[in-house]
Chains A and B, each alone.
Chain A
Amino acid sequence: MSLQAFFRQLGRDLVTQKLRTFLTVFGITWGTVAVSLLLAFGLGLQRQQTRSMAGLGDRIVIAWPSRTSKPWQGVDRGRRILMRGEDILFLERSVPGVAAISPEMSTELKARWGTKVRAVRVSGVWPSYGAMRNMIPQEGGRFIDALDQARRRRVVFVGNEIAGDLFGTQDAVGKVVQLGGSPFTVIGVLQPKEQDSAYSGRDHSKFVIPESTFRALTGRRYLDDFIYKAERPKLNASLTLRIRNTLARRMHFDPSDDQAIQVWDTTEMFQFFDTFMLAFNVFLGVMGLLTLVVGGIGVSNIMNVVVDERTREIGIKMALGAKGRTILLQFLAETLVITAAGGAAGLLLAFGICRGVSHLGLEKTIGNPVLSPGIAILTTVSLGLIGFIAGYFPARDAARLDPVVAMKV
């Protein structure tokens, strides 16, 4: 049968079956919206959470030298482990697989600019700290570099909120603030970021200065913590083991003492979250799919009714020489067109809803839904499959009709 004739027939079927067609298309649209929106919200939430988890750092390990919990070589437990910058340097040089490492010292200091005085959290770190902790400078600024560290420069990288607090709308870079009584030049302002976890205050309200400068300014010798990462997140656990062993030898504690150096491997958080999100997305997908299947059952029912109502017509067509295949294809194609129309409307609607929701300012809480190509493809494929199955059985029944019996209806 020609395409033109097919579409005219389809048009007639759909018009004579207005309500039913509407309900069917609506059902499929509804199912499509459900599947794609659920998945889009899931993906949005996942991205949002990943982003805010990454605010703390890009799959880093944070380690705090603490007290021994086991006696070792005649020394009782409870001994304090004190580490300095050179221990970190030693680790960087002697432990294989360290992609980046930085010590961190921090304290609270008075910062003054003009008449404004604030108590701020100040960290002394190495240049590698910036990338590891996702501290990205805004346009026109930079993070601490090697020269700052080597020359003990009095430079400061400031959090975006404290920068706004101190300097208002003015450009912070180049301003000189008094920090602990010494003048510091602002070299960069933190690009705003999501951060849902922290260990020494939020980055947006922090000052970061070179570790060398920090020591000179405060006179402190020992670091509070250090952060590091392996080449790949999967290798963090084994790297941590090597670091602990190396430090045990160097600092003289029991290598099996996991309290001497306390470790927070943030990849575990990511891993847990990834697993959780996968389960969550599967759950959402299945829910949506069920809705779609219900829509498909609706389509199948309708096609059954259509076949019933058109039994006589089918018989006549067969008498005139229509083959089973022609009849099958006609009904199957009709179902697919109905499904496709409903699906297209659904995807468009879902896309529009995603757009609309993006303007509601929910980004910080549940994230903006993302209708990714993957989701669209997944939805389309399930839809096609459901349409095919929904149409196939009624169509096959139609194709198997006996023309003599069918014409008597």
Chain B
Amino acid sequence: MNWPFAQRDNGAPEGTNGRIIEMRGIQKVYDTGKIQVEALRGIDLTVERGEFVAVVGPSGSGKSTLLNLLGCLDTPTEGKYLLAGEPVAGMDRDGLAEVRNRRVGFVFQNFNLLPQLSALENVEMPMLFGGVPSRQRRERARKLLEQVGLGDRVEHKPTELSGGQMQRVAVARALAMEPDLILADEPTGNLDTASGSDVLSLLTELWRGGATLVVVTHDTALAERAPRIVEMRDGRIVDR
């Protein structure tokens, strides 16, 4: 199948050597008034285009924080981060929004679909913010839903879909803007084993198609599928 990412010619910007993620000395401190939580204490991480990385580690070790930083949902307290060669550390909110829109596709544990919208409209949403014309939006969204096996569910609302189907809608949505990077935070965490392995197969298929994937997971089955595993503990990456 022809998935919309990665192997595009315009893929990696020049001078990045195909490097999608390059993090140096990233720290993240949550300042909650009285206490300061050091969620990340110096992360160095490089991910090449086309890699499939599983991030594992105990709860509270900073996996989600790392993923949020990778996806430009949040900014680091300290450190340097190049996303597809673009320095994003100093960007303002709107700049980050644009980077998220163009470069990143998110898949969340709890799907994060908009309940009042149909599957099709959910997949269209990133393209709406990306300024894709409506007809193109519609066609693309339909095609993506077909590719994730939901061609007959386009008009369904999330509540009318099973968990596995919802997560597949989310995957389709993540692909909508042809991202450089797909980030998934516990994508199978809310799914039963069967639909979990469904989604897992879908992600693996994406990777085989050329996608760059970073997946946070507790799921050993999922982690085992990934050629590279990054383990975290106490805000640091540890060697295995």
- Given that A16-B116, A403-B73 are contacting pairs, would A317 and B125 also be in contact in the complex, using a CB cutoff of 8 Å? yes
Asked whether, in the complex, the Cβ of B125 is within 8 Å of the Cβ of A319, the reply is: no
* Bound-state Cα–Cα, A197 to B125, Å: 72
> Interface digits, B123-134 against A, CB 8 Å rule (1 contact, 0 not)?
001101110001
Please classify how large the interface on chain A is, using the bins under 10, 10 to 19, 20 to 34, 35 or more. 20 to 34
Is the pair A321, B102 in contact by a Cβ cutoff of 8 Å?
yes
**Contact of A322 with B by CB under 8 A:** yes
Contact B129 A317 (CB under 8 A): yes
B97 within 8 A of A: yes
CB distance from A214 to the nearest CB of B (A): 85
- Cβ-closest chain A residue relative to B71: A319
**B contact residues around A227 at 8 Å (CB):** none
Kindly state whether residue B27 has any CB partner on chain A within 8 Å.
Answer: no
User: A313-B114, A316-B114, A319-B112 in contact; A324/B93 too (CB < 8 A)?
Assistant: yes
**Is A110 on the interface with B (CB-CB < 8 A)?**
no
- Contact indicator A320/B100 (Cβ below 8 Å): yes
* A323 contacts the other chain (CB 8 A): yes
B111 → chain A closest CB, angstroms: 10
Residues of B within 8 A of A16 (CB): 116
A16, B71: Cα distance in complex, Å: 32
* Interchain CB contact (< 8 A) of B97 among A12, A324, A404, A407: A324
Do the beta carbons of A2 and B128 come within 8 Å of each other? yes
A144 to chain B, nearest CB (A): 77
Given known pairs A2-B134, A4-B134, A313-B114, the reply for A323 and B128 (CB within 8 Å) is: no
With both beta carbons as reference points, the residue of chain A lying nearest to B129 in the complex is identified as A321
Kindly identify which residue among A1, A319, A325, A402 contacts B94, using a CB–CB cutoff of 8 Å: A325
Q: Are B68 and A1 in contact (CB under 8 A)?
A: no
**Quick one: given A2-B134, A325-B94, are A320 and B74 in contact (CB under 8 Å)?**
no
Q: Which of A1, A321, A323 has the most CB of B within 10 A?
A: A321
Closest to B74 in A: A404
Known: A1-B129, A16-B116, A407-B112. A320 touches B73 (CB 8 A): no
Complex alpha-carbon distance, A322 and B73, angstroms:
12
Q: Does B108 sit at the interface, judged by CB under 8 A?
A: yes
Interface membership of B205, Cβ < 8 A = no
A320 contacts B173, C-beta separation under 8 Å: yes
- Judge if B188 is at the interface, Cβ distance under 8 Å: no
Contact partner of B129 among A322, A402, A407, CB < 8 A?
A322
The answer to whether B134 and A322 touch across the interface, beta carbons within 8 angstroms, is no
A-B pairs with beta carbons under 8 A, tally: 57
Query: Is the C-beta of B146 less than 8 angstroms from some C-beta in chain A?
Result: no
Q: Does any Cβ of A come within 8 Å of B167's Cβ?
A: no
A19, CB-defined interface residue at 8 Å: no
A124 → B minimal CB distance (Å): 83
B217 is an interface residue with CB less than 8 A from chain A: no
Name the contact of B177 in the complex, choosing from A321, A402, A403 (C-beta under 8 A). A321
B128 near A5 (CB under 8 angstroms)?
yes
Cβ–Cβ < 8 Å partners of B116 in chain A: 12, 16
Smallest CB separation, A309 vs chain B (Å): 11
Asked, given contacts A320-B100, A321-B130, A326-B129, whether A404 binds B68 with beta carbons under 8 Å apart, the answer is: yes
CB distance from A152 to the nearest CB of B (A): 88
Q: Name the A residues within 8 Å of B125 (CB-CB).
A: 317, 320
Which residues from chain A contact B73 at a C-beta distance below 8 Å?
A: 319, 403-404
Nearest CB to that of A313 among chain B residues? B114
Question: Do B106 and A319 have beta carbons less than 8 Å apart?
Answer: yes
Kindly state the separation between the CA atoms of A22 and B105 in the bound complex, as whole angstroms.
39
Chain A proximity of B106: nearest CB distance (Å) = 6
Tell whether A324 pairs with B94 under 8 Å between CB atoms, given A316-B114, A319-B100: yes
Distance in angstroms between the alpha carbons of A316 and B113 in the assembled complex: 8
Q: Is A318 at the interface (CB under 8 A from chain B)?
A: yes
From B64, which residue of chain A is reached at the shortest CB distance?
A404
> Which 8 A-B pairs rank lowest in CB-CB distance, beginning with the nearest?
A321-B101, A321-B129, A320-B126, A323-B97, A323-B94, A322-B129, A316-B112, A321-B100
**27 A–B pairs (Cβ distance < 8 Å), ordered by A:** A1-B129, A2-B128, A5-B128, A12-B116, A317-B114, A317-B125, A317-B129, A318-B97, A319-B71, A319-B100, A319-B112, A320-B125, A320-B173, A321-B98, A321-B100, A321-B126, A321-B130, A323-B93, A323-B94, A324-B94, A326-B129, A402-B74, A403-B73, A404-B68, A404-B73, A404-B74, A407-B112
